[in-house]
Each structure stands twice: as structure tokens, then as C-alpha cells.
Amino acid sequence: MHICYIDEAGCLGVPNTPIIQPVFVIIGLMSDVSSIGSITTGFINIKRKYYPGKFANCAHYLDSICIEIKGSDLRKYAISAKSRERKAAIGYLDSTIDLCQKYGIKMIGRMYIKSPTKTINAKSIYSFSIQDICVHFQRYLNMIEDYGIVIADSRNKPKNVNISHSVFTGKFKNNGDSYSRLHELPVFGHSDNHALIQICDTIVSAILYPIGIVSYCQSLKSNRHVKPRYFNIKQRYGKLLSSIQYRYYDHNKWTGGIVVSDNINKYSGSVLFK
């Protein structure tokens, strides 16, 4: 069985003013359940290696999973003028990507570049994104002839219920189950307890979000979230992240991986990792 873990970065706030994040990105990381124990142990070791001070008061080694190194902080540290902060963050991110590659983790998701002038339907975008991730997860499970479940980072009960129901309508519709290889509707976990939700947060917040900023948002000169130094993150991790995408050929085109909707310049997703 496989599990697809989901987390997001950025926001769906409107309007797109200089203080609102111009990018929203949501990803799923797909892993064989047989690897989750090893991934969890490996990730705890990464956390303790690069930020040992945060775990000095842990009563037990396994309590380390409850102490998170947030992706938004790693993003800041990775471009810090302080060499010590920068090196720790880069080492942490390098090791996390290595862990994903070692255990064959595959990535799917969607990125939205928000228009500076138009409002967006946050509920609709989030629901569609989860449905789309489930479609690609279903395709992946078909390919490997396996079954799976989805575990998303919990937000609040009304939002969680809405997300599960959006998949429910596709799973129990009259003309067939769109997600026949998913054992259940998406369920929700707290990131404190799941290494792979924390890894999701690391990748989506510390790497994909800043790559999206420098790839699509350079024209937003007054937006405080557009930082030229994010280009260093793209240079280091663009090709690595591209290599762990799950992409496939369907109806005469490539799909899957990170699908980009650019509402500023209408650039394609191919710009993301180049």
C-alpha cells in the first residue's frame, strides 16, 4: 500500500497586495508504507543533526518527531547573510531531498500564481487541488498495481470536511468510482506526528514556494515576498525536485508532477525548474 501525504505553502488570501503572498502551492508526496519507518527515523536524525539545540530537552529520542523545523524558517535561513544559519539550512534541505530519493518518494501537486488584480475562490481552488492530486495518485497506483490512502495536514473541521466531501462525490458518483484504488476518503493528521507531513512542509515551503516566486513573480516589484536571493534555492534544488516528480504521458501530453497555473504572465510549468 502507498500513502500520499499532503501539505501546502503560501496563502489563498485576496486581494494580491504587497503584503499578501503571491504564490500558493500544494503538494502530495507518495511513499510505500514499507518505507515509512525508515523515512521517519532518517528524518529525525536529520533534524537532530542540523538543529541539535532544539532537542536538548527531549526526554526520549522519539519525542523529536513532535519538534518541527518549519519550512518557512528554513526558507529564511537558506538565504541568510549569516553563514552558520545558511549552512545548517542547506545541509538540512540537501539531506531531506537525499532521503526522498533514497526511498523512491514521488511528488505531485499544483502551484497557483495569483493575479495582482483579480480575486480567487479559495474554497474552489483548494478542493480542486486535492481532487487533482487524488487523480494523479490514482494513476500512479494503477501503474504500480497497488492501493493507497491520502493523509493531509489538518486545518480545521469545516475545511477538512469540505475537502473529504469533494473527493467523496467522485468516489461514489453514479457512473463509477474515479478513485477506485483509494481505500478511503482523505483523512487528516497533525504534522507533529507525521514525518512525511513535515517533509512535505520542508519541500513545499522551503524549496518549491521560493522557486515559484523567482520563476513567475519577478514583475511584482513592490511585493515584499519577492526576494532575488530565492534564485539561489532554485539553482541548487530545481533539477533535484524535477527528478522526483511523478509525470506521465496521457492523451498526447505530459501531465502530473507540479502543474502550474500562472495568472500573471501565463508561463507554462516548464519554467518552474529551468
* Residues 6+ away with beta carbon under 8 Å from 209: 9, 10, 23, 25, 71, 75
Whole-angstrom distance, CA of residue 89 vs CA of residue 145: 37
Condensed to tens digits (0 to 9), the pLDDT of residues 225-273 reads 999 999 999 999 999 999 999 999 988 889 999 999 999 999 999 999 9
Cis status of the peptide bond prior to 18, with omega within 30 of 0: no
pLDDT of residue 135: 96
User: What torsion, rounded to 10 degrees, do the Cα atoms 247, 248, 252, 258 define?
Assistant: -20
Q: What is the fold of 2-271?
A: Nucleotidyltransferase; domain 5 (3.30.420)
pLDDT of residue 18: 85
Condensed to tens digits (0 to 9), the pLDDT of residues 1-18 reads 999 999 999 988 877 788
pLDDT of residue 80: 97
Helices 36-50 and 83-102: angle between axes, nearest 10 degrees: 170
In this prediction, the residues of the chain whose per-residue pLDDT falls under 70 are none
Considering only the C-alpha atoms of the chain, give the largest distance between any 2 of them, rounded to a whole number of Å: 59
- Domain residue spans in the chain? 2-271
Whole-angstrom distance, CA of residue 258 vs CA of residue 204: 11
What phi and psi, each to the nearest 5 degrees, are found at residue 188?
-130, 135
